[in-house]
Amino acid sequence: MFLDARKIENKTDTYNICIVGAGAAGITVAKALKDSSLSVCMLESGGFDPDPETQSLYQGDIIGFPYYPLDTARLRYFGGTTAQWGGCCWPLEANEFEKRDWVPHSGWPLSREELDPYYIKAHEICELGAFNYDAQYWSEKADHPMLPLEAGRVVTKIYQNSPPTRFGTRYREDIEKAQNITTILYANVTDIELDTLNQTVEKITVKTLSGNSFDVKADTFVLAAGGLENPRLLLLNDIGNQNDLVGRFFMEHIGLPASKLVLPRKIDINFYIRAPVENTEIRAGLALRNDVLEQERILNSWSGFTLKRTPNISLQYRWRTLKSELSKGEIPDHLGSQVKTILSELREIYADKWNSGDSDNEWVTIPVHSHAEQSPNPMSRVTLGDELDALGQRRTKLDWRITDLERRSIRRTQEIIAAEIGKSNLGRAQILAPEEPDVWDDPKRLPEGTPPNGSWHHMGTTRMHTDPKLGVVDENCRVHGTKNLYIASSSVFPTCGFENPTLTIIAMAYRMADHIRSLG
C-alpha cells in the first residue's frame, strides 16, 4: 500500500519496522520482510518521479577535493539512485574484508564467506547471471579470450551488468501488493527521538514540503537513506556520535583516465568492452594480483578499457533481451533505457567503423580508466553546513580528501600494468595518472581528460566496527549505544574495495533483514 504523506495529519502510527529511504537498500529490506508477520512502514522523501523541490533537499556544500554538486550525486524518489545507476555489479573480494596492515582502519567484522549467501540473493534482485566472477569461466562462455598476458602481476577481473534494474519501477508492484508493507511517499524524516536513557528510538517525526507533520513509532528503525544522508540524519539528531565518528571516513571510488594502451589491432579485446553471455553481460578489465597489492602495499583498483562497445555484438544482445521480454506480453520496466541504448548504438554503427579510428592501422589505442579503492581516512568527512534546507534542517557539507596512498596506488598500478603489457610483448602503454602526488591538486598540471573524480558512491560515513570507539554501527549494523536503530547502506562499509557498491549494499540489506527477523 502506498500513502501520500501530504495527506496525513497529526497522527502517530505504530509498526514493527520503520525503514527510512526507499532506494536499493530500503526496498531490499522491505522485500525481504514481505509477507512476514512484521508490519513494515517505509518512508520515502520523494514520489514516483523526480521532483526538483524534493531533490533540492540534497543540496550541500563541498569544501574538500572537487566533487559533483550534492543534489546531482543521488536521487531522492522511490527507487532512489537505482533510477540512474549503470548496473555494474560485483562482490567485494575476500581479502577486502580482511585487515590489511598497509591500509589504515581496514578490516570488516564479517567475512566474504558469511556474506556469500546474501550475495546470491542480491544477484536475483539485480537480475544478474550466475554468481560467478571467475574471468576464465566467463571468457570461455563468451567465446572471447582474455588478453594473452604472460603469467605475472596482472590478472583479468570481471563484473556483471544488471539490465540495470530500476528498483522503483521493477519492484513497485511487489511493494504495493505486500499486505504487511505501508510505503509513505513525500515523507521527510526530520527528528529521531530517543527515550530518556538515550538508547531506544521511540519515534521519528516526518515532515512534508507541504507543511504537515506526523510521527511514526516502531520497534525497530532502519536508516536506508544513503552514504550522505544517513550521517546527516544522525548528526542532526546527535545520535551515535559519542566518539565523534559519524560522518568521518567518507570514501569514494576514484575514477580517472589513467593510461592508454597501444595493442595490435588483431588482438580480440571484445571481452574487455562488453560481452553478452547467456542472460547477463560481462565486462572485463585489468587488475593486480592480491599478493602484488600486498607486496607493493597499495590499494586495489580495476582498469577498464573505455572503447566504445563493438556495436553489433552489444546491439544483438540488447535486441534479443528486449524481444524476449516483449514476447512475454509485458512491457519491461526498463524499456525506455533499452530503446535509448539501442538507438545510441545504431548511431555508433553509422558514426564509427569500429572501436578506434583508422582500421588500416595495425595498432589500436585504448583509453584505460582506473576505478580505484580509497582508504578509510577520518579527515575525509561529512558534517553539517550552516545553511538550512526547506524543512529547516542544516544541509550536508562534504570534505572529501584523497591521500597519498590512493595517488601512489593508482600510479603504481598503471606502471605495473604497463610493464606486464611490455613483458608479454603485446604493446606499450602511456601512463596518464600523475607521477608526482601533488599534481592531483593542480588541475592545470593534470594530463589530458577530466581530472580525477568520484563515481557517485558514498561510503564509510557510519562505519561498521565491533568496538564503539572505532565504529558507528556494530557487526549487525545496529548503531552503537542504541537498541533498535540500524543502518542499511554503503555508509557502513569499513573499506570499500574497488567494486561498485550496489551489490554489497543489497547483500548487506538481506543480511540485516535476516537479523531483524531473528529478533522475533
Partner 1 sequence: MEMKRFDQGRRTLLQYASWGLSLAALGLPAIAGALPTAAARTPADIDALLSSMKAIGQEYLARYPGENSRRALLGLLEAQIGPLPDRGLQGFSWDALKASIKSDFEADNVVFLNGWTFARTEARLYALAVV
- Nearest approach in angstroms of CB 473 to partner 1 is 42
> Least distance in Å: CB of 356 to partner 1?
10
Question: Cβ of residue 498: shortest distance to partner 1, in angstroms?
Answer: 22
Query: Of 149, 226, 186, which is closest to residue 6 (Cα–Cα)?
Result: 186
Select 427 or 437, whichever has its Cβ closest to partner 1.
Answer: 427
User: What's the CA gap between 258 and 433, in Å, rounded?
Assistant: 5
Residues 23, 224: contact at Cβ < 8 Å?
A: yes
Q: Which is nearer to partner 1, 210 or 430 (CB)?
A: 430
Among the residues of 132-266, which ranges form H helices? 135-142, 167-170, 172-177, 229-236
Q: How far is the CB of 353 from partner 1 (least distance, A)?
A: 15
Q: How far is the CB of 463 from partner 1 (least distance, A)?
A: 35
Q: Which residues contact 358 (CB under 8 A, 6 or more apart)?
A: none
Distance CA 510, CA 181 (A): 16
Q: Which of residues 287 and 496 has its CB atom nearest to partner 1 in the complex?
A: 287
Sequence-distant (6+) residues with CB within 8 A of 111 are 94, 97, 98
Q: How far is the CB of 148 from partner 1 (least distance, A)?
A: 12
Q: Which is nearer to partner 1, 293 or 506 (CB)?
A: 293
Residues lying near partner 1 in the complex (CB under 8 A): 152, 259, 262-264, 360-363, 365, 415, 418-420, 422-423, 425-432, 435, 447
Residue 208 grid cell: 512534508
Among left, alpha and beta (phi > 0; psi -120 to 50; other), residue 208 is: beta
Of 281 and 420, which has the nearer Cβ to partner 1?
A: 420
Would you say 413 or 461 has its CB closer to partner 1? 413
3-class SS string, 234-283: HHHCCCCCCCCCCCCCCECCEEEEEEEEEEECCCCCHHHCCEEECCEEEE
Judged by beta carbon, residue 50 or residue 422, the one nearer partner 1 is 422
CB of residue 157 to partner 1, shortest distance in Å: 21
Q: Which three cell numbers stand for residue 464?
A: 561498521
Residue closer to partner 1 by CB (options 317, 354) is 354
Nearest to partner 1 of 239, 368 (CB atom): 368
Measured from the CB of residue 271, what is the shortest distance to partner 1 in angstroms? 21
Per-residue CA distances from 342 to 271, 307, 316 (Å):
20, 17, 9
Q: How far is the CB of 131 from partner 1 (least distance, A)?
A: 36
Which one-letter DSSP state was computed for residue 515?
H
The CA distances from residue 464 to 136, 246, 473, in Å, are 34, 11, 5
Q: How far is the CB of 259 from partner 1 (least distance, A)?
A: 8
**For partner 1, which is the closer residue by CB, 225 or 426?**
426
> Please, what's the b/e burial string for 8-30 (b: 16 or more CB within 10 A of its CB; e: otherwise)?
beeeebebbbbbbbbbbbbbbbb
Burial 448-485 (b: 16+ CB within 10 A, else e): eeeebbbbbbbbbbbbbbeebeebbbbebbbbbbbebb
Q: Residue for cell digits 554501527?
A: 473
Nearest to 459 by CA among 503, 499, 489: 489
Handedness of CA 85, 142, 285, 368 (dihedral sign): negative
Closest approach of partner 1 to the CB of residue 312, in Å? 23
Looking at the Cβ atoms of 181 and 263, the one nearer to partner 1 is 263
